[in-house]
């Protein structure tokens, strides 16, 4: 699923490849606005994680110097703009168009949504884990650190933070780092920082001047975080591939705590937001249990099929 290889460069080369990449962007964008699901996980599932990191890193100092010199031809020759345009369009459209729908489903059909994604991420842990040499102690320790760390992070209680622009910038910087890490949801990090409802509220009317300014500052924070963290993550993959792979697998495994479908609320604030919740084991009389089990199975099988197709494509 995540292969250690040189990326293909600035693809897609054809309209069909662009359409496929756009559809993967739609999936990533849909996942990014669900607290508990990472867009990085979807990138892994879709087999574009390494290409995504390479495309982000194509925005380097050399490209910026060309941009300042107004050498647009040089910039287009350096930056993987075709990849980022196709994928980014899908992500942006999904976030803007589905924010309201996803929020509605999370309020009214949360167990069903979580069931599907539990299957998706569970299968991803299985497939990615097959590539890790767990017999080596450093890899095993890295997996444990990732799993325990993610398990702890997704259990944190959301806090309230100011809505000042510097805080919005910092929230974007931190959230985007989590967003490209498989297993740790950028949306959930925003929830912890007390900015999820605020930012998604801005997205419902993005062209109102005040909302647009907030979104712009948030995006600048995201862009800064992407350029910094993607380089660090790629450095880890280049120099400590197995250890990093084990860490990413652990992140995904630990994050399953957040999207366990069966929960009970323990603490709810005045606005109706659940601050603390416990996971429950389902029983035979659990409401909609057959549907949720089917959705888990559908998500699991879907990832297996996607991985099988990706392997065939790589061979050909």
Range of weakest confidence among 53-57, 97-101, 152-156: 97-101
C-alpha distance from residue 15 to each of 109, 192, 306 (Å): 36, 40, 21
Q: Which pLDDT band, with edges at 50, 70 and 90, does 73 fall under?
A: confident
Given this model, what pLDDT does residue 271 score?
A: 62
Q: pLDDT by residue (tens digit) across 276-313?
A: 778 888 888 888 889 999 999 998 898 788 777 666 65
Q: pLDDT by residue (tens digit) across 126-161?
A: 888 888 899 999 999 999 999 998 888 877 777 777
Cβ atoms 285, 180 nearer than 8 A:
no
Given this model, what pLDDT does residue 294 score?
A: 94
- Mean pLDDT over 66-81 rounds to 80
How many angstroms separate the CA atoms of 102 and 96, rounded?
11
Given this model, what pLDDT does residue 217 score?
A: 94
- Which pair of tokens denotes residue 192? 């912890």
Inform me whether the pLDDT recorded for 205 exceeds 50: yes
Neighbours of 115 (CB within 10 A): 26
Going by DSSP bridges, is the β-strand pair 274-279/263-268 parallel, antiparallel, or unpaired?
A: antiparallel
Given this model, what pLDDT does residue 174 score?
A: 87
Backbone angles phi, psi at 164, to 5 degrees: -65, 150
Given this model, what pLDDT does residue 297 score?
A: 94
How many angstroms separate the CA atoms of 175 and 168, rounded?
10
- Which pair of tokens denotes residue 82? 């075709």
Burial degree of 259 (CB within 10 A; 0-12, 13-18, 19+): buried
- Mean pLDDT over 178-203 rounds to 77
Given this model, what pLDDT does residue 102 score?
A: 72
- Which pair of tokens denotes residue 2? 């995540």
Identify the residue with better confidence: 252 or 169.
169
Inform me whether the pLDDT recorded for 71 exceeds 90: no
Share above pLDDT 70 across residues of the chain, in percent, rounded to a whole number: 89
How many angstroms separate the CA atoms of 82 and 79, rounded?
9
Residue 234: in which H helix or E strand, if any? helix 209-239
Q: Which pLDDT band, with edges at 50, 70 and 90, does 79 fall under?
A: confident
Inform me whether the pLDDT recorded for 76 exceeds 50: yes
Given this model, what pLDDT does residue 14 score?
A: 83
Q: Which pLDDT band, with edges at 50, 70 and 90, does 270 fall under?
A: low
Inform me whether the pLDDT recorded for 316 exceeds 50: no
Q: Which pLDDT band, with edges at 50, 70 and 90, does 248 fall under?
A: confident
Given this model, what pLDDT does residue 147 score?
A: 93
DSSP-assigned letter for residue 6: -
Q: 64-78, 134-148, 169-183, 204-218: which has the highest mean pLDDT?
A: 134-148
Given this model, what pLDDT does residue 2 score?
A: 54
pTM over 0.85: no
User: What is the chain's Cα-based Rg?
Assistant: 20
Cβ atoms 52, 79 nearer than 8 A:
no
Domain ranges of the chain: 15-315
Neighbours of 103 (CB within 10 A): 17
Given this model, what pLDDT does residue 286 score?
A: 81
């Amino acid at each position: 699923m995540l292969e250690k290889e040189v990326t293909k460069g600035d693809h897609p080369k054809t309209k069909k490849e662009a359409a496929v990449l756009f559809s993967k962007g739609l999936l990533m964008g849909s996942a990014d606005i669900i607290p508990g699901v990472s867009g990085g996980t979807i990138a892994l599932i879709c087999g574009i994680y390494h290409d995504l990191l390479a495309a982000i890193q194509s925005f380097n100092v050399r490209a910026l110097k060309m941009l300042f010199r107004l050498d647009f031809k040089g910039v287009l020759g350096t930056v993987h703009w075709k990849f980022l345009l196709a994928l980014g369009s899908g992500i942006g459209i999904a976030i803007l168009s589905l924010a309201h729908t996803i929020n509605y489903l999370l309020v009214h059909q949360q167990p069903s949504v979580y069931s599907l994604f539990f299957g998706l991420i569970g299968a991803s842990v299985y497939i990615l884990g097959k590539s890790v040499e767990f017999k080596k102690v450093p890899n095993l320790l890295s997996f444990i650190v990732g799993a325990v760390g993610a398990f702890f992070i997704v259990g944190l209680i959301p806090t309230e933070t100011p809505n000042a622009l510097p805080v919005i910038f910092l929230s974007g910087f931190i959230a985007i780092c989590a967003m490209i890490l498989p297993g740790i949801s950028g949306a959930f990090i925003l929830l912890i920082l007390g900015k999820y409802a605020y930012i998604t509220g801005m997205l419902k009317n993005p062209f109102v001047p005040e909302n647009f300014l907030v979104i712009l500052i948030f995006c600048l924070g995201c862009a800064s975080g992407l350029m910094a963290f993607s380089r660090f993550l790629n450095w880890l993959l280049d120099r400590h591939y197995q250890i990093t792979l084990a860490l990413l697998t652990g992140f995904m495994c630990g994050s399953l705590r957040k999207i366990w479908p069966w929960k009970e609320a323990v603490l709810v604030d005045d606005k109706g937001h659940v601050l603390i919740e416990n996971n429950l084991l389902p029983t035979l009389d659990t409401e909609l249990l057959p549907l949720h089990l089917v959705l888990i199975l559908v998500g699991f099988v879907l990832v297996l099929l996607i991985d099988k197709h990706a392997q065939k494509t790589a061979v050909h």
